[in-house]
């Protein structure tokens, strides 16, 4: 049987990828950001997951206003990095795990949780930046990755409660898979940020820190937070944080916090990063 052994949350800011790809990681602005992930890279290199399920949102790269799946799972054998306007990131092609992805799709859909099945998809910074932060700059990503895209770009995004329940359904799916795989699930995006309008540049560290605390200790309650509260407190793009609840729903109620990092600013956002292990 496969197991979800740990969860990771991380911001997926595109400028982080650009800094890394452009050789700017050691510059004074970026060095503190990457320093927050050094322990994380060592942790995941030691853990050696067999598969990563990566919850992220597409930023009008694979999808557009022509088609807006609320939840979409990538079942392809591979996913090329998307061209987001300045050429694809110089990172390895992401190899999928079609067998497990199809199993999750079947299990979750028959569990009354509809997913859009995607057999061809480019993946943008939402997926590749978290891989870079956790795995560095290898010639090939060290394990297969199953993309799980959530619509947080076009209203209405799913509620935090729905995302939390999806995480629980994904856990049931993984645990009914008949191979002894060690799975880590990533929830990405956030934290507080607003990219447009009179409040552009908004950062709310008090909200962010409380969110991190609740994510660890009181996730069921955190999942009840309404959209308007994310918008008001964390800015219009802070709604990306609902994706972290998919990750948290896939873990035990009780978890062990392995690592936490919070840093302002990275581009126009607050970077939040946490690693949680399922208690044995």
CB of 130 to Fe ion, least distance (A): 10
Query: 167 or 189: whose CB is closer to Fe ion?
Result: 189
What is the total count of residues that contact Fe ion (CB under 5 A)?
1
Quote the crossing angle between the two packed helices 160-175 and 98-110, to the nearest 10°. 120
Distance in angstroms (rounded) separating the CA atoms of residues 230 and 280 = 33
CB of 273 to Fe ion, least distance (A): 15
CB of 13 to Fe ion, least distance (A): 8
Catalytic residue among 12, 97, 125, 273: 125
Token pair 């990828």: residue: 17
Quote the crossing angle between the two packed helices 205-217 and 227-234, to the nearest 10°. 140
CB of 166 to Fe ion, least distance (A): 18
Catalytic residue among 12, 193, 263, 273: 193
- Strands 182-188, 51-56: pairing is parallel
CB of 196 to Fe ion, least distance (A): 14
Q: Are 71 and 114 in contact (CB under 8 A)?
A: yes
Quote the crossing angle between the two packed helices 160-175 and 242-249, to the nearest 10°. 30
Q: Is 214 left (phi over 0), alpha (psi -120 to 50) or beta?
A: alpha
CB atoms within 10 A of CB 94: 25
Instruction: Return all residues near 70 (Cβ < 8 A) that are at least 6 apart.
Output: 116, 150, 151, 157, 158
Cα dist from 4 to 52, 113, 145, 183, whole Å: 9, 19, 14, 5
Binding mask 182-201 for Fe ion (x = CB under 5 A): -------x------------
Mark whether 125 is an active-site residue. Answer: yes
Task: Select the residue whose beta carbon is closest to Fe ion and give its number.
Answer: 189
CB of 237 to Fe ion, least distance (A): 7
Query: 157 or 189: whose CB is closer to Fe ion?
Result: 189
Cis bond upstream, residue 145 (ω within 30): no
Mark whether 193 is an active-site residue. Answer: yes
CB atoms within 10 A of CB 44: 21
Query: 189 or 219: whose CB is closer to Fe ion?
Result: 189
Which secondary-structure segment (H or E) carries 117? strand 116-118
Collapse the DSSP code of 210 into the 3-class scheme (helix H, G, I; strand E, B; otherwise coil) and give the result: helix
Enumerate the active-site residues: 125, 193
Q: Which residues of the chain form contacts with Fe ion (CB under 5 A)?
A: 189
């Amino acid at each position: 049987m496969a197991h979800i052994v740990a969860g990771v949350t991380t911001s997926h800011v595109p400028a982080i990828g650009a800094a890394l790809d452009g050789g700017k990681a050691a510059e004074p602005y970026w060095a503190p950001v990457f320093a927050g992930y050094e322990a994380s890279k060592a942790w995941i290199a030691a853990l050696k997951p067999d598969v990563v399920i990566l919850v992220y949102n597409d930023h009008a790269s694979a999808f557009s206003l022509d088609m807006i799946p609320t939840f979409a799972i990538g079942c392809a054998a591979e996913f090329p990095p998307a061209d987001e306007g300045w050429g694809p990131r110089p990172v390895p092609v992401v190899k999928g795990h079609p067998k497990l992805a199809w199993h999750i799709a079947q299990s979750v859909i028959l569990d009354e949780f509809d997913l859009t099945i995607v057999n061809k998809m480019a993946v943008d910074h939402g997926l590749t930046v978290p891989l870079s932060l956790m795995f560095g700059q290898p010639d090939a990503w060290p394990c297969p990755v199953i993309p799980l895209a959530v619509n947080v770009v076009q209203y209405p995004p799913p509620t935090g409660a729905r995302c939390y329940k999806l995480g629980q359904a994904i856990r049931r799916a993984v645990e009914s898979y008949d191979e002894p795989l060690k799975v880590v699930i990533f929830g990405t995006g956030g934290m507080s940020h607003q990219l447009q309008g009179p409040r552009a540049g908004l950062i709310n560290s008090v909200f962010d820190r409380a969110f991190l605390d609740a994510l660890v200790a009181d996730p069921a309650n955190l999942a009840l937070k309404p959209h308007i509260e994310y918008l008001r407190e964390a800015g219009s793009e802070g709604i990306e944080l609902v994706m972290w609840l998919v990750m948290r729903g896939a873990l035990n109620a009780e978890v062990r916090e392995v690592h936490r990092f919070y840093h302002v600013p990275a581009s126009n956002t607050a970077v939040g990063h946490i690693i949680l292990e399922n208690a044995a």
